[in-house]
Amino acid sequence: MAANLEASREPFSLVIVGHVDHGKSTVIGRLLADTHSLPEGKLEQVRLQCERNARPFEYAFLLDALKAEQAQGITIDAARCFFKTAKRDVLVNDAPGHIEFLKNMVTGAARAEAALLVIDAKEGIRENSKRHGFLMSLLGIGSLAVLVNKMDLVGWSQQAFEAIRAEYLAFLKPLGVQPVAFIPVSALGGDNLASRSAAAPWYQGPTVLEQVDAFERPRGRESLAFRMPVQDIYKFTEEGDDRRIVAGTIEAGSVQVGEEVAFYPSGKRSVVASIEAFAAPPRLSIGVGEAAGFTLSTQIYIKPGELMARAGDPAPRVGRRFRATVFWMGRAPLVAGRSYKLKLAAARVAVRLVEVRKVLDAAATGELEAAKRQVDRHDVAEVVLEAVRPLAYNLHSEHFATGRFVLVDQFDIAGCGIILEQMDGQDSLAAGHVKSREAAWDRGLVDAAARAARFKHRGKLVLLAGLDGAGNQALAKRLEQALFALGCNSYYLGLGNLEQGLDANQGAATLSQAEQVDRLGELARLMTDAGLLLVTALPGLDDADLEALQALQSPHELFTICVGESPFSRVRPSLLLPAGLSPAEALDRALKGLAQGEVLTDYSI
């Protein structure tokens, strides 16, 4: 019987937050002591130590004592303790350096199913009471109980308790947070923690322990639509085998062999041919929480970072601009004009701040206030962000795992957030930039037609964009040479040169694909305007990159050449050459293609 009871106990993880000195550690210390969850003799030992040092005993010291023991084995940034309730084995995190802990929560290193938020009855609601309450909602912790602590200091006044409750509810309401309980407690006296207190006969609700058992678990991810962020694509290396394994960890739902799947944002589809397990026999279905590898029945070109879903399920949203709530932890503020890296599921994409809508001013009135231009450290703000390329995501209210993100500034996690609303449909930042650039363009007196007549070709960016990077680069150089021999103003643009130059203040930099596209687009706009035939090879491009490049190039157009397989699905390359041509043949076909495409205006085919 006893063994049965043990087996049916559930593990549960809890986090305790609140303003400094409001009593978090005392609550935990008291819970540990009152549930007899402390190691044998620990309480006496700490009491004795206090006596020896002539310090008054504090329950919070218990945590320090436990922490010192734990720290020998593992590194900890939040004190982790265990206690047992009637139903559950509770792991509780005391978050002293709350920023560190929150960082861990947003990156998934730490997790909590419910939160206790402690407010000092005498001091009342303070800055972090608000900030933490809000952050718990931001992190998707729907189960929040508020402990109004130190009730002994206000004479167990029901009025004081109700006043805090009303004020805090009013604060949380516009943020969409609804605590499941407010509990008047005294951690010092152990009132309403493990046992009901006689000091507050007016209070009918649960004790803290009863509430911990009553917290509902978050809805099971197994029942949600299948989602797997693609971490990597592995190729079989055995001879003659060109299958690829799409690998990742399943975030929600499950999928079976034979089911049609889709990848976002590319929208490409295929059918699951097999489920590969490492050092285990293949299987027919796989579900949430598992690391999975899939082979597909058709070879499609997808990249790590895409989101795999079942084709029959509602698709995630795909877009670039959205409204979000962010919590900023960066030393430098979140500002417009600067590029940040957004991580959402397995996707990594550069984003820019479009607009700050509101900032939560926790120190003052606690309302979301308008009219701030940037988001400072520890601010919670509502902002509009725009990604440089389409991103697959969900609203936070639709699907938690794909509705939250982390922002990286340089190499540091600088913020986290949740997506509230899709905002596509207006001009993108890039389109706005091109519009104002073109409106302000200072034109000379020689126009494009005059240049084309003189040079026998148009100014054009010729882009080799196939999958074979090295082969494309070689072809681009031969093309420059052959065009030059024909009398053209051709120039091979080495992409590495974009990293070394162009920005004297920044020096050499490793550019992301999006930054390369940006620089190339701007440069090509100038050089093609001068009538040049620019030839370059840029591997690894996809539809979104090509569209971005095309937009930056406007009013001039791109000429895209792919050899073998085209990596694009929406955009058709200007010229698609078959694989396996000799270098001379490839060159000849490329020249003919340029003539047919009316880039070369005086070339006989």
Q: Which is nearer to ligand GTP, 21 or 167 (CB)?
A: 21
Q: In this chain, which stretch among 132-140, 146-154, 175-183, 366-374 interacts with ligand GTP, using CB under 6 A? A: 146-154
Site mask for ligand GTP (CB under 6 A), range 52-91, x = bound: ------x-x-------------------------------
Q: Is it true that the peptide bond before 265 is cis, omega within 30 degrees of 0? A: yes
Closer residue to ligand GTP (CB): 18 or 403: 18
Token couple for 249: 């960890």
Q: What is the DSSP string of 57-108?
A: --THHHHHHHHHHHHTTS--SSEEEEEE-SSEEEEEEE-SSHHHHHHHHHHT
Return d(Cα 436, Cα 605) in angstroms, integer: 40
- Tell which residue, 218, 223, 294, 222, has the closest CA to residue 263: 294
Q: Least distance in Å: CB of 128 to Mg ion?
A: 12
3-class SS shares of the chain: helix, strand, coil, % to 5: 30, 30, 40
Span interacting with ligand GTP, options 150-158, 214-222, 463-471, 561-569, rule CB under 6 A: 150-158
**DSSP code, position 245:** E
Token pair of 111 as six digits: 């997790």
Residue with tokens 């303003």: 19
- Interface region with ligand GTP, contact rule CB under 6 A, candidates 148-156, 173-181, 224-232, 499-507: 148-156
Among 57, 67, 77, 96, binds ligand GTP (CB under 6 A): 96
User: In whole angstroms, how close is the CB of 28 to ligand GTP at the nearest point?
Assistant: 8
CB nearer to Mg ion: give 65 or 576: 65
Nearer to Mg ion, 18 or 184 (CB): 18
Task: Using the minimum distance from each CB to Mg ion, give the nearer residue, 24 or 399.
Answer: 24
CA atoms within 13 A on the CB side of 269: 9
Residue 63, judged by CB atoms within 10 A of its CB (0-12, 13-18, 19+), counts as: buried
With CB under 6 A as the rule, give the number of residues binding ligand GTP. Answer: 18
Candidate list 14, 23, 351, 553; residue touching ligand GTP; CB under 6 A: 23
Minimal CB distance to Mg ion: which residue? 25
In the complex with ligand GTP, the residue whose CB is nearer, 59 or 405, is 59
Stretch that binds ligand GTP, among 14-22, 221-229, 275-283, 492-500 (CB under 6 A): 14-22
Q: Is 25 in the site for Mg ion (CB under 5 A)?
A: yes
Q: Which stretch binds ligand GTP (CB under 6 A): 23-31, 241-249, 426-434, 486-494?
A: 23-31
State the DSSP string of 504-563: TTT-S----HHHHHHHHHHHHHHHHHTT-EEEEE-TT--HHHHHHHHHHHTTS-EEEEEE
CB of 16 to ligand GTP, least distance (A): 8
User: What angle (nearest 5°) sits at the alpha carbon of residue 77, between those of residues 71 and 81?
Assistant: 65
DSSP state of 447: -
The correct pick among 93, 149, 325, 473 for binding ligand GTP (CB under 6 A) is 149
Site string for ligand GTP, 97-136 (x = CB under 6 A): ----------------------------------------
Q: How many Å apart are CA 62 and CA 412, to the nearest integer?
A: 33
Binding residue for ligand GTP, selected from 22, 88, 310, 519, defined by CB under 6 A: 22
> What 3 state SS string does 344-398 have?
ECCEEEEEEEEEEEEEECCCCCCCEEECCCCECCCCEEEEEEEEEEEEEECCCCC
Token digits for 387? 């990604």
Minimum distance between the CB of residue 43 and Mg ion, rounded to whole angstroms? Answer: 18
Instruction: Rule CB under 6 A: choose which of 24, 131, 389, 460 binds ligand GTP.
Output: 24
Q: Compare residues 25 and 394 and give the one whose CB is closer to Mg ion.
A: 25
Say how far apart CA 96 and CA 104 lie, in whole Å: 13
**Dist. CA 357–CA 374, nearest whole Å:** 10
The CB-of-166 to ligand GTP minimum distance in angstroms stands at: 21
Residue 197 as a binder of ligand GTP (CB under 6 A): the answer is no
- Toward ligand GTP, which CB reaches closer, 152 or 313? 152
**How many binding residues for Mg ion (CB under 5 A)?**
2
233 binds, among Mg ion, ligand GTP, none (CB under 5 to 8 A by kind): none
Among 14, 15, 26, 591, binds ligand GTP (CB under 6 A): 26
Contact 313, 294 (CB under 8 A): no
Question: Based on the number of CB atoms within 10 Å of its own CB, is 588 exposed (0-12), middle (13-18) or buried (19 or more)?
Answer: middle
Q: Applying CB under 6 A, does 460 fall inside the site for ligand GTP? A: no
Q: What is the separation of C-alpha 161 from the centre of its chain, rounded to a whole number of angstroms?
A: 39
**Binding span for Mg ion by CB under 5 A among 16-24, 46-54, 101-109, 562-570:** 16-24
Residue 18 or residue 521: which is nearer to ligand GTP going by CB? 18
516, interface contact from ligand GTP, Mg ion, none, CB < 5-8 Å by kind: none
How many residues in total does the chain contain? 605
**Helix 583-596 crosses helix 469-485 at what angle (to 10 degrees)?**
60
Whichever of 31 and 561 has its CB closer to ligand GTP, that residue is: 31
Query: Which pair of tokens denotes residue 311?
Result: 């084709």
Counting contacts by CB under 5 A, is residue 536 touching Mg ion? Answer: no
Are 354 and 338 in contact by the 8 Å Cβ rule? The answer is: no
Residues 251, 271 contacting (CB under 8 angstroms)? no
Footprint of ligand GTP on residues 169-188 (CB under 6 A)? 186-188
What tokens appear for 188 in the block?
Answer: 């010092």
Q: Please, which residue, 124 or 597, has the CB nearer to ligand GTP?
A: 124
Smallest separation, CB 18 to ligand GTP (Å): 6
Please give the structure tokens belonging to residue 511: 């550019």
> Which residues sit at the interface with Mg ion, rule CB under 5 A?
24-25
Residues in contact with ligand GTP by the rule CB under 6 A: 18, 20-26, 58, 60, 96, 149-150, 152-153, 186-188
